[in-house]
Amino acid sequence: MPRKIIIDSDPGQDDAVAILLALASPEELDVLGIVAVAGNVGLARNAKNALRIVELAGRTDIPVFAGCPGPMMRKLVTAEHVHGDTGLDGSNLPDPVKTLEDRHGVDFLIETVMSAPENTVTLCALGPLTNIATALVKEPRIAARLEEIVLMGGAYFEVGNITPAAEFNIYVDPEAAATVFACGAPVTVMPLDVTHKMLTTPGRMKAFRDLGNRTGAAIAGMLSFSEHFDLQKYGWDGAPLHDPCVTAWLLAPDIFSGRQCNVEIETASELTRGMTVADYWLITDKPRNAMFIRDGDADAFYRLLTERLARLP
Ligand code: RIB
Ligand code: CA
């Protein structure tokens, strides 16, 4: 029985790969819908990119919704410097024919979780947590009904990427992140600590190009654009591939390792706004509210990605 998931995303080149990996795995994952959130670029463009991605995969049956246009309490911060003005620069994907659903994405999240049997829906969060936190505020009962929330965000040993202290998804909407981490649902975190080990080396990028399908060509084009910023910044032999770690956790959890521990979010200090304070060494007796993933087998991760993406058009 495939696992029911809702993907909440700000596509974003790495979001696109995460979504495509999910769409390439219908035996394991039943994607109930995709909800766009403001993050990498503005909501309208992220939503349009999500439509482009389901069309690329030949999965226009998947409903796509627009969620919240900005953080719960703060001014939106975007990342065109990484993802380009469209948010999906390098993809060369045409304007979508498919259109967004009329319902607000937050209402789709609530109605889907409330109507499904308990513990059968997993939320995959690939961007700022605004939509999920807003759903939790509007209908707190969803927290106890969710199977799991798997999110890309935060860092502990790798600290920050948008500031010295914070990772982008958490930084954009720290109040939303605080709400999600405190909601009581099982939360699994894919932080920079693990995504910084999943580098798009030249050999791995060649494997995407050599897939020979339109998906491989689009991914190679997208990542060739988005990796520039991180290659310059870090000087590594590849750029971190963040969001597909969320999908890979659902498909192959054994390639990852981490620890159940307390994770809280800084929302008061401007200096450390959005910092994920992970009690990884179990110093306190605070509730261990998250599975914090620290490591992963990069070769296994890319083998999974390449094998699955070959299945798409
Ligand atoms: O910090 C990396 C995260 O921010 C990824 O989700 C990327 O898509 C951007 O949203
Ligand atoms: Ca993202």
Judge whether 304 and 255 are in contact, CB under 8 Å.
yes
Judge whether 140 and 185 are in contact, CB under 8 Å.
no
- Which residue has a Cα nearest atom 10 of ligand 1? 127
Query: Which ligand is nearest the CA of 152, by number?
Result: 1
Active site residue 104: no
Query: Of the residues 81, 196, 228, 242, which is catalytic?
Result: 242
**E strands along the chain, which residues?**
3-9, 29-36, 64-66, 121-125, 146-152, 187-190, 256-261, 263-265, 276-278, 290-296
**What pLDDT is attached to residue 223?**
98
Token pair 């609530």: residue = 110
Residue 173, ligand 1, Cβ within 6 A = no
Judge whether 4 and 121 are in contact, CB under 8 Å.
yes
**What pLDDT is attached to residue 185?**
98
Question: From the alpha carbon of 240, which atom of ligand 1 is closest?
Answer: 2
Mean pLDDT of the chain: 98
Q: How many whole angstroms separate alpha carbon 192 and alpha carbon 39?
A: 17
Bridge-based pairing of strands 64-66 and 29-36 is parallel
The predicted-structure confidence for 18-76, as pLDDT tens digits, reads as follows 999 999 999 999 999 999 999 999 999 999 999 999 999 999 999 999 999 999 999 99
pLDDT band at 232 (very low <50, low <70, confident <90, very high): very high
For residue 286, give Cα distances in angstroms to 182, 252, 281, 289: 12, 29, 12, 9
**What pLDDT is attached to residue 20?**
98
The predicted-structure confidence for 161-192, as pLDDT tens digits, reads as follows 999 999 999 999 999 999 999 999 999 999 99
Q: In angstroms, what is the span from residue 15 Cα to ligand 2's centroid?
A: 5
CATH of the domain at 111: 3.90.245.10
Q: In angstroms, what is the span from residue 122 Cα to ligand 1's centroid?
A: 19
Q: Which of 41, 126, 151, 229 to mutate to test the pocket of ligand 1 (most atoms within 8 A of CB)?
A: 126
Q: What is the largest CA-CA distance in the chain?
A: 53
String of DSSP letters for 133-156: HHHHHH-TTHHHHEEEEEEE---S
The predicted-structure confidence for 244-281, as pLDDT tens digits, reads as follows 999 999 999 999 999 999 999 999 999 999 999 999 99
The predicted-structure confidence for 88-139, as pLDDT tens digits, reads as follows 999 999 999 999 999 999 999 999 999 999 999 999 999 999 999 999 999 9
Give the phi and the psi of residue 128 in degrees, each rounded to 5.
-55, 150
**How remote is the C-alpha of 146 from its chain's centroid?**
17
Q: What burial class does residue 201 get, using C-beta atoms within 10 Å of its C-beta: 0-12 exposed, 13-18 middle, 19+ buried?
A: middle
Mean pLDDT of 133-148: 98
Looking at residue 171, its amino acid is Y
Q: In angstroms, what is the span from residue 66 Cα to ligand 1's centroid?
A: 18
**What pLDDT is attached to residue 290?**
99
Residue 15, ligand 1, Cβ within 6 A = yes
DSSP state of 25: -
Query: Which ligand is nearest the CA of 9, by number?
Result: 2
**What pLDDT is attached to residue 60?**
98
Domain count, the chain: 1
Q: In angstroms, what is the span from residue 169 Cα to ligand 2's centroid?
A: 7
pLDDT band at 242 (very low <50, low <70, confident <90, very high): very high
pTM value is: 0.98
**What pLDDT is attached to residue 237?**
96
Range of the domain at 60: 3-309
Question: From the alpha carbon of 192, which atom of ligand 1 is closest?
Answer: 1
Q: How many whole angstroms separate alpha carbon 311 and alpha carbon 23?
A: 10
